Structure 1
């Protein structure tokens, strides 16, 4: 990216640090959690796709990230991706838009997520709560982003909280803590298809929560052992579960051997 005399000094420093460059585990996000004021929803999380720490600034970013991190056709996720400021300045002028500024200094425009798919296709994802859509400043920034990505032949989407079911939010939060495993835990997960799955099949239409408790008793294991194995197995793509249905109401018969999880959210091109 070209340097620009009137860029906000903090943004200029980030560009000097090569923020927004690199791919996979070598990518450096333009923003990091500790650098911005937070509403308490900010989180750093290790990605399954990249094996690096991702910096997420809201609960909605966290949920959106989870969905793409579990999708089998996603190969890379780059959060807080900076747009070329020389291009956004020119584009804003041509569209008659006010370029984002702070204290009369130009700000680098960022897109929440740049997603790389198998086959080379990219998706640009902007994440924000629906109430933000009524703000003129936000709408102008979105229009600028949309035009920027369209000029590059990249599909651009807006994701709000309304595109996620309450059940999906609950389930993803329930399984995500089990994604990063030690070698010992990884071995346990690998055995889930041969050990846990056949046991659950015997439960048929029984409540999964209750039946896991019965299995703990039958095999003289501490309470919660089979349920923990299940969470590990689903989180690490050994078993599949109906993620758009609350885990509290899962039946044993609904647990299946893993099949690729498609992104369970409707993306709207705006």
Structure 2
């Protein structure tokens, strides 16, 4: 995403605000939803890992964010990361059309952002940065999009950071729907003594593998004297914590027996 700001003054103001700086809960994206009057399918999402609000500019960005949150190896998620030093970093500027990414009135260079900069944990325990740009395949027909992607590619290559393009084809919708269904249970508050209650529910599940999940959860609510739906909430929480495993690529069918859902 490129931001057509009145450059010098605007950029100094944003930098003073901390935009594009920090990490974890202290990171501030270069672009926030409130910067623009209308962003279509833009959304805000509270980060379970980062403990801050993420500003996502499309449904595909939201889906990518959800998948990153679900991935245990992703430690930090920074969206709308500005390539403020792009002109200094890229040595080989041959055929790069920077002139297309300039303010039409002032002629100054626009700020180019990479959608996501992630901190990930490698198998050996070390951490590294990877950059990801999320685009719909329909956008790849536009020459200006391809030119911007080439700028990003060369920038991150020069930085020694792995960069890849992600399209909707790598963002399975059912997985994202399942993550959305369970992730709110990880937010603070809502249920007292959640940990001990989930331990009780887990015992129910393991001892009643031939019972349909829906019936088992109703029986749990009744026998434990809790509000209707508590068993379902705790079941979602067990999945969210990865204390139990289910096939996230399929819709979770509560009519199935426990042995047919739990992996």
Say yes or no: TM over 0.5. yes
**Is the alpha carbon distance of 1:45 and 1:96 closer, same or farther for their aligned partners in structure 2, counting shifts above 3 Å?**
closer
**Cα contact 1:92–1:144 (8 A) shared by 2:** no
**Cα contact 2:90–2:154 (8 A) shared by 1:** no
1:242 equivalent in alignment to 2:247: yes
Query: Offset of 1:137 from its aligned partner?
Result: 1.0
Partner of 1:252: 258
**Is the alpha carbon distance of 1:61 and 1:71 closer, same or farther for their aligned partners in structure 2, counting shifts above 3 Å?**
same
Partner of 1:64: 64
Give the 3-state SS of the residue equivalent to 2:199 in structure 1: coil
Give the 3-state SS of the residue equivalent to 1:158 in structure 2: strand
Give the 3-state SS of the residue equivalent to 2:209 in structure 1: coil
Partner of 2:113: 110
Partner of 2:168: 161
Partner of 2:193: 187
Partner of 1:78: 78
1:19 equivalent in alignment to 2:19: yes
Partner of 1:226: 231
Partner of 1:101: 102
CA-to-partner distance for each residue in 1:145-189, whole Å, 9 max, x for gaps?
Answer: 01111111111111222212232122012112222122x73731x
Hey, what's the Cα distance between the residues in 1 that align with 2:34 and 2:27? Answer: 17
Give the 3-state SS of the residue equivalent to 1:78 in structure 2: strand
Hey, what's the Cα distance between the residues in 2 that align with 1:248 and 1:91? Answer: 54
CA-to-partner distance for each residue in 1:211-238, whole Å, 9 max, x for gaps?
Answer: 3234334444433120011122322444
**Cα contact 1:193–1:238 (8 A) shared by 2:** no
Query: Offset of 1:20 from its aligned partner?
Result: 0.9
Query: Offset of 1:245 from its aligned partner?
Result: 1.7
**Cα contact 2:221–2:230 (8 A) shared by 1:** yes
User: TM-score, normalised on structure 2?
Assistant: 0.82
Hey, what's the Cα distance between the residues in 1 that align with 2:70 and 2:176? Answer: 14
RMSD value, Cα: 2.6
Partner of 1:263: none
**Cα contact 1:47–1:53 (8 A) shared by 2:** yes
Query: Offset of 1:39 from its aligned partner?
Result: 4.2
Q: Which residue, out of 134, 140, 151, partners 2:147? A: 140
**Cα contact 1:192–1:238 (8 A) shared by 2:** no
**Is the alpha carbon distance of 1:229 and 1:113 closer, same or farther for their aligned partners in structure 2, counting shifts above 3 Å?**
same
**Cα contact 2:75–2:120 (8 A) shared by 1:** yes
Hey, what's the Cα distance between the residues in 2 that align with 1:194 and 1:126? Answer: 40
**Cα contact 1:29–1:79 (8 A) shared by 2:** yes
Between 217-226 and 59-68, the greater mean CA deviation after superposition = 217-226
Query: Offset of 1:192 from its aligned partner?
Result: 4.9
User: TM-score, normalised on structure 1?
Assistant: 0.80
Partner of 1:216: 221
Query: Offset of 1:12 from its aligned partner?
Result: 4.7
Structure 1 segments unaligned to the other structure (5+ residues)? 1-5, 257-270
